[in-house]
């Protein structure tokens, strides 16, 4: 299943869904919903497929999707559940919630960053070439505005990301001269809220080089000369920007600085921030090939010791459908280890690089057996986010711990709640009640 192509009669409105102006995005969705009310075929019944992990324009989406744009396309594609996640920011969460409610779509918003794991300081995990560093998330974040207690940590994420980007550009400018970047003039305008990533920086260099060398022969000579490539023609944006990032910003490149405990926050500190905000701390797993991911049990036990309660998988791009190999076995072993520890599992395709699918291929022999597990995890996190927002009754709440000290029983109840909730009629306020009465309220 792929994101459906835009229908000619809706093209303008669908394009407007991703405009940097929030008012225009909201107006475009309103127009599209009016069309869908007249023709129910625009919004098909849910297929059961899910994508819990799509980035948006508030960090980087390779197709330019906003939170509203992704929600619309997810509903049109017939997804059963959807979720957004952005690096170092909560900016898209309220918009996504509003859009998915209007569309009758179950889902939640999340935040992602890289964290330092002291116990794995010398081992690579999900961030290649960066020992001690793993991608990590806060999922099911109930609000886009953190508490006063949590705001300083979020501010620090933004500040350190900016400082890291400025330092990277300063290092790479010399290697890519005469095409150089000014961060505030060339990069920041590529994202609506100033939350730029390495991928924005690569795209900015691509655009500026094209403007500096409008003739393809000159542009080809420039890139081959600065990157040490032997291209015979200027590659497409995806290949060019991937190569630029690998050669200048990753290990061995002039812009690379090996991260350490002062570069990214410790996992335990980020987990505390997420819990303070009402979210669920979540480990992001890659493919099991690195030294730190090779033993899924050890990885998960360490993460759980610092407060991690869920896991995220990016499965489809990490194996070849129909080919039984180490990657498939690693995926199955990791899912089994997470299931044994009663950790809800979510999955998605990111879409933070050209070529990423809109949704994983859950018809494949490798993923079809895992889809029920991912749907279950999605229902748990969805219910958590709604109940936490409505009454502080999420998965980590005192209410949940009191009624369900056993995490397996807690998961089962929140899965039921997620199945019962209607996204068009999510409660705005909930008072404590016993679990059976609470389920009746949610029906």
Cα–Cα dist 280/289, whole Å: 26
Cα–Cα dist 313/188, whole Å: 30
Alpha carbon of residue 440 to chain centroid: 32
CB-based contact 54:65 (threshold 8 Å): yes
pLDDT in tens, 199-212: 999 999 999 999 99
CB-based contact 192:58 (threshold 8 Å): yes
Cα–Cα dist 294/292, whole Å: 6
Which pLDDT score, from 0 to 100, does residue 10 have?
A: 64
Q: Averaged over 302-313, what is the pLDDT?
A: 98
Instruction: Report the mean per-residue pLDDT for the chain.
Output: 94
pLDDT in tens, 54-97: 999 999 999 999 999 999 999 999 999 999 999 999 999 999 99
Closest Cα partner for 317 from 379, 374, 274, 366?
Answer: 366
CB-based contact 125:292 (threshold 8 Å): yes
pLDDT in tens, 403-435: 999 999 999 999 999 999 999 999 999 999 999
Alpha carbon of residue 110 to chain centroid: 7
Q: With the C-alpha atoms ordered 49, 54, 57, 60, is the resulting torsion angle positive or negative?
A: negative
Which has the higher per-residue pLDDT, 382 or 318?
Answer: 382
Domain positions in the chain are 12-147+265-393, 155-248
pLDDT in tens, 150-162: 999 999 999 999 9
Q: With the C-alpha atoms ordered 160, 166, 167, 169, is the resulting torsion angle positive or negative?
A: positive
Residue 402 half-sphere exposure toward CB, CA atoms < 13 A: 9
Q: With the C-alpha atoms ordered 291, 54, 425, 6, is the resulting torsion angle positive or negative?
A: negative
> Per-residue pLDDT for 320 more than 70?
no
Closest Cα partner for 140 from 353, 393, 373?
Answer: 393
pLDDT in tens, 203-236: 999 999 999 999 999 999 999 999 999 999 999 9
Torsion, Cα of 247, 253, 258, 264 (10° steps): -50
> Per-residue pLDDT for 103 more than 60?
yes
The pTM is what? 0.94
Q: Return the CATH fold of 12-147+265-393.
A: TIM Barrel (3.20.20)
Band (443; pLDDT cuts 50, 70, 90): confident
Cα–Cα dist 28/14, whole Å: 7
Cα–Cα dist 87/423, whole Å: 25
Which pLDDT score, from 0 to 100, does residue 338 have?
A: 98
Band (105; pLDDT cuts 50, 70, 90): very high
pLDDT in tens, 13-57: 789 999 999 999 999 999 999 999 988 888 999 899 999 999 999
CB-based contact 222:215 (threshold 8 Å): no
């Amino acid at each position: 299943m792929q994101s459906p192509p835009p229908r000619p009669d809706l093209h303008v409105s669908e394009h407007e869904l991703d405009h940097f102006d929030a008012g225009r995005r909201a107006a475009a969705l309103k127009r599209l919903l009016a069309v869908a009310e007249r023709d129910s075929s625009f919004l098909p019944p849910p297929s059961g497929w899910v994508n819990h992990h799509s980035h948006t324009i508030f960090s980087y989406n390779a197709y330019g999707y906003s939170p509203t744009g992704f929600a619309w396309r997810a509903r049109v594609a017939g997804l059963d559940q959807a979720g957004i996640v952005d690096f170092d920011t909560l900016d898209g969460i309220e918009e996504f919630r509003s859009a998915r409610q209007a569309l009758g779509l179950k889902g939640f918003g999340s935040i992602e960053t890289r964290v330092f794991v002291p116990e794995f300081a010398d081992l690579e995990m999900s961030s290649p070439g960066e020992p001690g560093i793993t991608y990590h998330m806060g999922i099911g974040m109930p609000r886009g505005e953190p508490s006063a207690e949590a705001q300083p940590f979020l501010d620090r994420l933004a500040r350190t990301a900016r400082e890291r980007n400025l330092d990277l550009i300063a290092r790479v400018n010399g290697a890519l001269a005469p095409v150089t970047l000014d961060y505030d003039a060339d990069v920041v305008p590529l994202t609506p809220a100033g939350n730029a990533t390495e991928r924005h920086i690569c795209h900015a260099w691509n655009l500026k080089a094209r403007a500096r060398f409008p003739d393809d022969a000159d542009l080809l000579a420039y890139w081959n000369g600065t990157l040490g490539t032997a291209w015979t023609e200027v590659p497409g944006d995806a290949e060019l920007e991937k190569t630029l990032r690998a050669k200048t910003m990753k290990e061995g490149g002039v812009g690379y600085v090996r991260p350490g405990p002062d570069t990214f926050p410790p996992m335990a500190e980020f987990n505390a921030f997420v819990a303070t905000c009402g979210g669920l701390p979540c480990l992001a797993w890659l493919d099991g090939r690195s030294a730190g991911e090779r033993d899924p049990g050890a990885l998960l036990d360490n993460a759980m010791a610092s407060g991690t309660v869920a896991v995220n998988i990016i499965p489809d791009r990490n194996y070849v459908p129909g080919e039984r190999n180490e990657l498939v076995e690693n995926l199955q072993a990791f899912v089994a280890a997470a299931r044994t520890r009663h950790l809800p599992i979510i999955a998605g395709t990111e879409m933070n690089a050209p070529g990423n699918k809109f949704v994983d291929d859950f018809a494949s022999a490798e993923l079809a057996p895992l889809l029920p597990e991912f749907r279950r995890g999605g229902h748990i996190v969805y219910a958590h986010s709604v109940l936490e927002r409505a009454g502080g009754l999420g998965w980590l709440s005192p209410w949940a711990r009191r009624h369900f000290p056993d995490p397996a029983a807690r998961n089962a109840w929140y899965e039921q709640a997620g199945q019962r909730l209607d996204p068009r009629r999510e409660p705005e306020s909930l008072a404590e009640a016993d679990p059976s009465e609470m389920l009746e309220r949610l029906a």
